[in-house]
Amino acid sequence: MADDGLNTGLLLYIPYRWLENRVIEALDRAGYGDITAAQMKIVQRIGPDGTRLTELAEQAQVTKQTAGFLVDQLVKAGWVERVPDPTDKRARLVRISARGQEALPIAAAAVAEVEAEWEAHLGKRQMAQLRQVLSRLREITDPYA
């Protein structure tokens, strides 16, 4: 095993980016090729009942303006919709649309395929250890856990 001198953050990012690209490729093959990695970062954070734009921006670690721009693009493409917030009539929620819901199983299947490849490469034990270690690391790195 070679240590290329890469920092741990980059070693975490490279496999994530690979997985993200595989999801985008799978969506493209299935006719959902109009979503970008930046837009996916927003879609991934939308809760089952919808999420406010400010929360999406915070969780995606982008400005509210950037999140708004990405959501506008997603609305135009039919991935999401803006709906009234039932808890505050002045607020709006971003919710995954019917088209977006159709694409979710395709994305999930691509993730499962990549994880199966990783497990085949690492073995069951190391894959389980990797997930355990990353879950522990999430305890101190993910304020939304």
Distance CA 98, CA 114 (A): 26
Helices 8-29 and 98-122 sit at what angle, rounded to 10 degrees?
130
Instruction: Give residue 47's Cα distance to chain centre.
Output: 12
- The rounded average pLDDT for each run of 10 residues, N- to C-terminus, in the chain (145 residues) is 82 95 97 94 94 94 96 97 93 96 97 98 98 95 82
Structural domains for the chain: 8-141 (1.10.10.10)
Report pLDDT for 3. 66
CB 53 within 8 A of CB 63: no
Predicted pLDDT at 143 = 84
Q: What is the β-pairing status of strands 88-96 and 80-85?
A: antiparallel
Query: What confidence score (pLDDT) does residue 1 get?
Result: 57
